[in-house]
């Protein structure tokens, strides 16, 4: 992938990276949305949706509570969707390799958010006196520069990840040694385990929650039987 | 631009819209020093211009400085604080009382919002979208369902918070007793569990593809993994374990 080809993807990653915290937190940065949009950019939205759903299940494990540190799924979803959408259909290694690239991007991007927050704190320290005097310009400048840096952060993470992972994923897919069925099975098991455990972590204190889950499973069994 | 306002005077609609729009960008300067304190000042700024003396007057500058100090709230419920603090500043409440109010409000707004939004509404909407995918939904259908459902709650919650804050001022604490905020997580949690029971297996079936299906081995491995990970709870991050396992599998598949 050339730099020019990666630029529109980087722009998408920048915009969706901004949504995670800065603006507007409408959750267009959730992997199911981000990866599908990136897949559509590449011309293959169903592929983007598929990896987006898998990432969404894994992302259930990391909800953005307060000042906690968490992976950043906006840019990661874009990288995963764009990489998977660009792979030839039916290649057994494509989904695991692209998923790994997306998870690594999420981890690095999460770290970049910590760096950004520290940079904003440094800038705040430099303008603290003016803000303590009630300077509108100092406050607006701090706020808008924070948002601009966040936009830049998302774009940089996305373009860097695309430049590194696009050739790497292509090479991995070309020499992939496992069959298609076990390759998919590993991804399905990983997604099921992380999503299941994450939901238990979040909802275990809710009264009667297990009964509701079992009722849902019964509905699924009913659907299986009637289909 | 602004004329001084007397206590109790309502703000023009365009100022309320400006504050609402800024609420969406409130966390633009989030940092580990003041958390979203500077964002609160940024969001309140259009309304503070209506203090006696107008823009850049002494009252405006003092209020802007005061409101830009440390604060922590869930971003979707921060509108409650913004509205209440604007009302207090415009009503000329003494600064010490405003400071005490800020300190008292920050904790509850964070914990209530986290429980309602991050730990209930967001996973519920994610599961609904995953379910739509499992039921054979198109990319547009899945993404559209998620964004419409999630943002219906998101946009209404922010608007409600700002409105209730502006109307009640420092008496806004009782709004946190709203049944949606108190009981919402319980009901949404039950609904999410029900949806999860249908949505996860359906979606996993579709991801696995027609040739594979959910065979016994996959179900068994998944159940054992869920039990192990659920037992570890706070001691292990599932996504990190997923990353490690996937890296090993990719390495294995490349080297064999």
Please report the beta strands in B151-205, taking only residues with DSSP state E, as ranges in sequence order: none
Is B151 in Cβ contact with A190 (below 8 Å)? Answer: no
Please tell me what DSSP assigns to residue A2.
-
Q: What is the pLDDT of residue B4?
A: 43
The answer, yes or no, to whether residue B147 has pLDDT greater than 50, is yes
Of B28, B150, B197, the CB nearest to A216: B197
Is A212 in Cβ contact with B194 (below 8 Å)? Answer: yes
Which of chain B's residues have a Cβ under 8 Å away from the Cβ of A96? Answer: 246, 249-250, 253
Could you tell me if B192 and B182 are in contact, meaning their C-beta atoms sit under 8 angstroms apart?
no
The domain limits of chain B are 13-214, 215-256
What's the CA gap between A95 and B193, in Å, rounded? 28
The answer, yes or no, to whether residue B3 has pLDDT greater than 80, is no
Please tell me what DSSP assigns to residue B11.
P
How much is the average pLDDT of A39-43?
A: 96
Task: Return the closest-CA partner of residue B96 out of B76, B66, B69, B132.
Answer: B66
Cβ contacts below 8 Å, chain A against chain B, sum to 322
Tokens of A156: 């940089």
Is A45 in Cβ contact with B63 (below 8 Å)? Answer: no
Q: How far is CA A192 from CA A3, A59, B10, B41, in A?
A: 36, 12, 52, 43
- Please state the three-class secondary structure of B23-73 as a single string: HHCHHHHCECCCECHHHHHHHHHHHHCCCCCCCCCHHHHHHHHHHCCCECC
Contacts with B80 (C-beta within 8 Å, 6 or more apart), sequence order: B73, B105, B109, B161, B162, B164, B165, B172, B175, B176
H/E element, B142: helix B139-168
Q: What is the pLDDT of residue B5?
A: 43
Question: Minimal Cα–Cα distance from A4 to chain B, Å?
Answer: 26
Tokens of A62: 């990391």
Scanning A145-174 for CB atoms below 8 A from B yields 146-147, 150, 172
Is B197 in Cβ contact with A214 (below 8 Å)? Answer: yes
pLDDT tens column, B9-26 = 589 999 999 999 999 999
Q: How many residues does chain B have?
A: 256
Nearest CA in chain A to B185: A206
The answer, yes or no, to whether residue B179 has pLDDT greater than 90, is yes
The domain limits of chain A are 3-226
Question: Minimal Cα–Cα distance from B81 to chain A, Å?
Answer: 16
Could you tell me if B34 and B68 are in contact, meaning their C-beta atoms sit under 8 angstroms apart?
yes
Nearest CA in chain B to A55: B239
**Test mutation, A188, A191, A215, chain B, max B CBs within 10 A:** A188
Q: What is the pLDDT of residue B6?
A: 42
pLDDT tens column, A118-171 = 999 999 999 999 999 999 999 999 999 999 999 999 999 999 999 999 999 999
Nearest CA in chain B to A125: B33
Q: In the beta sheet, which residues pair with residue B31?
A: B35
pLDDT tens column, A53-81 = 999 999 999 988 877 889 999 999 999 99
Q: Is A65 on the interface with B (CB under 8 A)?
A: yes
Question: Minimal Cα–Cα distance from B162 to chain A, Å?
Answer: 16
The answer, yes or no, to whether residue B7 has pLDDT greater than 80, is no
Q: How far is CA A105 from CA B70, B77, B98, in A?
A: 31, 30, 43
pLDDT tens column, B87-143 = 999 999 999 999 999 999 988 999 999 999 999 999 999 999 999 999 999 999 999
Helix (H, G, I), strand (E, B) or coil at B22: helix
């Amino acid at each position: 992938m050339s730099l020019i080809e990666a630029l529109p993807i980087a722009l998408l990653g920048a915009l969706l990276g901004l949504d995670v915290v800065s603006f507007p937190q409408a959750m267009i940065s959730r992997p199911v949305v981000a990866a599908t949009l990136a897949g559509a950019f590449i011309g293959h939205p169903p592929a983007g949706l598929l990896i987006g759903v898998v990432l969404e299940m894994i992302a259930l494990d990391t909800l953005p509570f307060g000042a906690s540190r968490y992976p950043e799924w906006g840019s990661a979803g874009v990288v995963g969707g764009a990489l998977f959408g660009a792979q030839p259909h039916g290649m057994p290694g494509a989904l695991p390799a692209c998923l790994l690239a997306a998870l690594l991007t999420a981890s690095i991007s999460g770290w970049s958010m910590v760096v950004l927050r520290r940079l904003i704190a440094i800038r705040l320290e430099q303008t603290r006196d003016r803000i303590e005097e009630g300077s509108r310009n100092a406050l607006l400048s701090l706020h808008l520069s924070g948002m601009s840096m966040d936009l830049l952060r998302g774009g940089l993470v996305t373009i860097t990840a695309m430049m590194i992972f696009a050739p790497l994923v292509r090479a991995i897919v070309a020499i992939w040694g496992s069959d298609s069925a076990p390759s998919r099975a590993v991804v399905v098991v990983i997604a099921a385990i992380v999503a299941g455990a994450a939901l238990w972590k979040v909802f275990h204190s809710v009264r009667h929650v297990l009964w509701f889950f079992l009722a849902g499973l019964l509905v699924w069994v009913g659907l299986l039987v009637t289909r | 631009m602004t004329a001084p306002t007397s206590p109790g005077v309502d703000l023009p609609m365009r100022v309320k819209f400006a504050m609402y729009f800024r609420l969406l960008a409130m966390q633009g300067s989030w940092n580990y020093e003041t958390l979203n304190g500077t964002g609160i000042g940024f969001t309140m700024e259009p309304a503070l211009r209506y203090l006696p003396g107008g823009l850049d007057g002494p009252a405006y500058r003092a209020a802007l400085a005061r409101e830009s100090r440390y604060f922590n709230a869930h971003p979707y419920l921060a509108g409650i604080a913004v509205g209440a603090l604007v009302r207090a500043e415009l009503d000329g409440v003494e600064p010490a009382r405003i400071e005490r109010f800020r300190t008292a409000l920050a904790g509850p707004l964070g914990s209530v919002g986290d429980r309602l939004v991050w730990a209930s509404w967001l996973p519920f909407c994610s599961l609904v979208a995953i379910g739509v995918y499992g039921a054979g939904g198109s990319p547009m259908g899945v993404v559209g369902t998620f964004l419409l459902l999630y943002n219906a709650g998101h946009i209404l919650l922010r608007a409600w918070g700002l409105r209730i804050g502006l109307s009640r001022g420092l008496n806004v604490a009782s709004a946190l007793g709203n049944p949606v905020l108190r009981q919402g997580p319980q009901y949404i949690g039950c609904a999410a569990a029900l949806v999860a029971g249908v949505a996860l297996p359906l979606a996993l079936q579709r991801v696995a593809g027609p040739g594979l299906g959910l065979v016994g081995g996959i179900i068994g491995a998944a159940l054992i993994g869920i039990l192990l990970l659920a037992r570890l709870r706070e001691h292990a991050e599932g996504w990190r374990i997923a990353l490690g396992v996937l890296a090993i599998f990719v390495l294995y598949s490349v080297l064999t």
